[in-house]
Structure 1
Amino acid sequence: MRIEERLNVTSISLDGFQLPVPEGLSELLNISGAWVYQKEDKAEEKNHLNKYDRKVVMESGRLRTYLTYRTTSTKKFDNKKIS
């Protein structure tokens, strides 16, 4: 199912940081077909970032997003207490 919507972007925030909305962003997103209705189960399957931890920080007046890949240890001796 595809539902066409004309949306207007009024604000943008990234982990609590407010960003200015560039002029023409709504029009660009509407023309490109970026707004697509998806069922929740389909959206979860396509989330490629679910194996990453995300941290957003302000550095020198710029927002930076750090993605850190989550690793799971398979070594047996990792939890072993050594005296």
Structure 2
Amino acid sequence: MKIKQELIVTGISLDGFEIPVPEGLSEILNNAGAWVYKEKVEEDGDNPLKDYDRKVVLEDGKLRTYLTYKGKDNLNNF
């Protein structure tokens, strides 16, 4: 289902870090038709990062996301 209302992005956060909203972001997302309602599916198969731990840190004034593989069992499946 497409959302017919225009939405205004007032804030963005990533793991507790607040990110400033760039001017015009709402307009770009609304014009692109980026807002689509999807029912959330709680299945591990849908999450490509299920085998990784994620950590977001602020380093040198930049947000960085570190992904760490959780186990060695699936390394031979690639």
- Higher-Rg member (1/2): 1
How far off its partner does 1:32 sit? Answer: 1.5
Task: Find the aligned partners of 1:45 and 1:31 in 2 and give their Cα distance.
Answer: 31
Q: What's the TM-score, normalizing by structure 2?
A: 0.75
TM-score by length of 1: 0.71
**What does residue 71 of structure 1 align with?**
71
- The residue that corresponds to 2:2 in the other structure is 3
Q: Secondary structure at the match of 2:41?
A: helix
Partner of 2:56: 56
Residue 81 of structure 1 corresponds to: none
Structure 1 unmatched ranges of 5 or more: 75-83
Query: Could you list the runs of 4 or more consecutive aligned residues of structure 1 that deviate by over 6 angstroms after TM superposition?
Result: none
Aligned-pair Cα RMSD in Å: 2.4
- The number of aligned residues is 73
Give the whole-Å Cα distance in 2 for the aligned partners of 1:35 and 1:43: 22
Q: Do the aligned partners of residues 43 and 26 (structure 1) sit closer, same or farther apart at CA in structure 2, a change above 3 Å counting?
A: farther
Tell me, which stretches of 5 or more residues in structure 2 are unaligned? none
